[in-house]
Structure 1
Amino acid sequence: MASRREAPSVPSLGRIAVIGGCGFLGSHIVSLLVERHPKTSIAVLDLRTSSNRNLSPNVSYHDCDITDYEGVKSLFERLKPDGVIHTASPHFHLAPAIHDKVNVGGTKNLLKAAQETGVKAFVYTSSASVILGPNVELVNADEEYPLVVGDAQPEYYTTTKAYAETAVLAANRTPPTFLTTAIRPAGIFGEGDIQLLPKMVTAYHKGQTKFQVGDNNNLFDFTYVGNVAHGHLLALQALLDTHKMLPTVPLDTERVDGEAFFITNGQPVYFWDFARAVWHEAGDRLPLSSVWHLSENVAMTIGAILENLFWVMGKTPNLTRAQVRYSTKNKYHSIEKAKRRLGYAPIVDLDEGIRRGVRYILENEKKEREKKGQ
């Protein structure tokens, strides 16, 4: 007879495939799946599955190019996933043709293979920036804001994320047993981050914390990766629960399938306050009185000059016009819809997320120094 003190058994979610599961966000989703649903069978599909491997016996790894439809379908036929979480996406700075091929073409391949092999639930990692235009400020923006694509969208990567999201939501209930949703995270950071925190810590190491662009009066969303993973699992669970009730269609006020959701920390912060919190955790103690303020116009001019100089060398400078725009504009979102329909609430606050992310970087830097005998 089982002891009354035993933890309640957590039911399996069935067979779940995480596309891009060796990447930054994907690996956190896999770890959270293993932690919360230890009986679930998890298949990680990635272009190369050599990094971020979870040691759980319930996780299998499969090299897969999502731009190869036949390869994807063959794997799905063999793995027979009940649910798919699609996080795979090329690096922001790669060529437009790659974004088209992977974000749009690859997503459509996954959708088609999922529809043809009996997948029940499909969760897509979109981006909060799909509603962000060059001259738009987002103040508590919700899911009613229109997508900004094509000529109106200066970032081609974002256009392809929006097109992929549209394809995912359009595929909902086609066939009637196939349910889809899209998660729109904003400013993801944390352990394993390769874009946001590493650049900020590098700026600290280079003594670049004495500069600030603008007056720091714009609020910005940054989201700890564990919260984004949490949002994805809530969405997956909601779709699987909805599938059990088919052919019933939930009320519009409760519906998850066919819908998009912003996921953030729910703690918009002044842009440079976030940067300074990162620098402080890394060891910076520069007083605010020593900070030099660059106006937005001056920073834009410097960014344009640097972009042209670095373009000749085939590199990207530390300061670009896009970075100036983002660091001086309001950009934060409402998570009320996610709270109501997914039951979402952040599980790690901003300060703790910063501590975890920066300490991860510093510990890895220390290991590298020790390897080199420094």
Structure 2
Amino acid sequence: MAALPEVPSLGKVLVIGGCGFLGSHIVSLIVKRHPQSQIAVLDLRTNLNRNASPIVSYHDCDITNLDAVQSVFATVKPDVVIHTASPHFNAKSEIHNKVNVEGTKILLKAAQDSKVKAFVYTSSASVVLDPTRELVNADETWPLVMGDRQPEYYTTTKAYAEIAVLEANRTPSDFLTCAIRPAGIFGEGDVQLLPKMVTAFRKGQTKFQVGQNNNLFDFTYVENIAHGHLLAAQALLHTHSILPTVPLDSERVDGEAFFITNGQPVYFWDFARAVWHEAGDRLPLSSVWHLSDDVAWAIGTLLESVFWVLGKTPNLTRAQVRYSTMTKYHSIEKARRRLGFAPVVGLDEGIRRGVGYILEQEEKEKQKKGQ
């Protein structure tokens, strides 16, 4: 694919969580596309995924500490804030609430007080996921699902944070916000999706499949999500430049949420098998054992009970059974129309890059041990 043309500077950009998986890719994409910008990274610890570019600076900071956050904002004086920080999905509920909800409100206050122009929040596509309803081309008109109706507390806190971000839009009148909702993120540095799939291949687990593989699912390569964030930042800055004019509702970005995916929903197990094939799996489909949803659920329930006693998590859980057999894909038409979004990396190429990165890291570890 031809290189995208350079675009004007984004000014001073503060990437919250910029040493994490998505955040570090956003930093790299800003360096690549907006080399006239100044980038600051705020993270709890900034020792991982550092970018060597001279336009990037790093600041250790806990986003739940208002004084510390305000100190960084006073130093950086950002025009744009891109907030990607979030605890691990399996963290304790109090951590999710403290970081995702309270931490986001602290960042909003600091941004409002320091005259930030644009605030882009990384939400989650799962904020509309209802356990009783499959997501078929879900768009931004679907209601948020949280509280007692949402089985994942992490997702509830992402929804509460998104609400806070969008309600803060135009308060004050020159503070503009929006939310990006990524789905099924994977790529280089991914610590949740691809590594688990490659590990399953290493353990010889590719011979099993749950369900009939008739459920479409969204997986999104990380650079496409980073691309969506930068388009959102550019759109907010453009809107800021024409204030006090308010764009038409059909064109508006500020105060809005956007699903960002690869726009290529695939059958769940087709994606898994593409990952396994890239990792070296050549098992013929005729050798694959199909477990029914009910049988897999029963096995997951039993394993969770046994492993709970041992203080561990099994390879097969009820949540994994549910996600691998449900339909879950989203419409990106709103992002196409209002942000000018189109995926820049296809699914096959994303899988090749992501799995290739894992194999490269494994080879480096072998060489290190062999020295």
Same fold (TM over 0.5): yes
- Residue 53 of structure 1 and its aligned partner are, at CA, apart by 0.6
* TM-score normalised by length of structure 1: 0.97
Contact between 2:6 and 2:33, CA under 8 Å: does it hold in 1? Answer: no
Q: Tell me what 1:48 maps to.
A: 45
Q: Tell me what 2:187 maps to.
A: 190
Q: Verify: 1:237 aligned to 2:234, yes or no.
A: yes
Counterparts of 1:275 and 1:40 in 2: how far apart (Å)?
A: 38
Counterpart secondary structure, 2:52: coil
Q: Verify: 1:163 aligned to 2:144, yes or no.
A: no
Superposition pairs of residues 121-132 of structure 1, within 5 angstroms: 121-132=118-129
Q: Verify: 1:95 aligned to 2:92, yes or no.
A: yes
Flag the 1:273–1:181 CA change in 2: closer, same or farther, 3 A. Answer: same
Structure 1 runs (4+) deviating above 3 angstroms are 7-10
Counterpart secondary structure, 2:127: helix
Instruction: Return 316-325 or 43-52, whichever deviates more.
Output: 316-325
Flag the 1:262–1:306 CA change in 2: closer, same or farther, 3 A. Answer: same
- AA aligned to 1:11 is P
Q: Tell me what 2:16 maps to.
A: 19
* TM-score normalised by length of structure 2: 0.98
Q: 1:339 aligns with which of 336, 341, 354?
A: 336
Q: Tell me what 2:355 maps to.
A: 358
- Residue 12 of structure 1 and its aligned partner are, at CA, apart by 1.7
Counterparts of 1:102 and 1:69 in 2: how far apart (Å)?
A: 12
**Over residues 142-169 of structure 1, what are the superposed CA-to-partner deviations in whole Å (9 max), with x where a residue is unaligned?**
0000000011000000000000000000
Aligned Cα RMSD in Å? 1.1
Counterparts of 1:368 and 1:313 in 2: how far apart (Å)?
A: 30
Flag the 1:312–1:239 CA change in 2: closer, same or farther, 3 A. Answer: same
- Residue 134 of structure 1 and its aligned partner are, at CA, apart by 1.4
Q: Tell me what 2:175 maps to.
A: 178
Counterpart secondary structure, 2:366: helix
Flag the 1:299–1:362 CA change in 2: closer, same or farther, 3 A. Answer: same
Counterpart secondary structure, 2:8: coil
**Over residues 200-250 of structure 1, what are the superposed CA-to-partner deviations in whole Å (9 max), with x where a residue is unaligned?**
000000000000000000000000000000000000000000000001100
Identical-residue share of aligned pairs (%): 79
Q: Verify: 1:349 aligned to 2:346, yes or no.
A: yes
Flag the 1:9–1:223 CA change in 2: closer, same or farther, 3 A. Answer: closer
- Residue 370 of structure 1 and its aligned partner are, at CA, apart by 1.2
Q: 1:116 aligns with which of 113, 118, 122?
A: 113
Gaps of 5+ in 1: 1-6
Counterpart secondary structure, 2:206: coil
**Over residues 55-108 of structure 1, what are the superposed CA-to-partner deviations in whole Å (9 max), with x where a residue is unaligned?**
110000000100001110111011100000000000000100000000001000
Contact between 2:301 and 2:318, CA under 8 Å: does it hold in 1? Answer: yes
- AA aligned to 1:185 is P
Superposition pairs of residues 142-291 of structure 1, within 5 angstroms: 142-291=139-288
Q: Verify: 1:107 aligned to 2:100, yes or no.
A: no
- Residue 313 of structure 1 and its aligned partner are, at CA, apart by 2.2
Flag the 1:267–1:9 CA change in 2: closer, same or farther, 3 A. Answer: closer
Counterpart secondary structure, 1:229: helix
Q: 1:35 aligns with which of 13, 32, 37?
A: 32
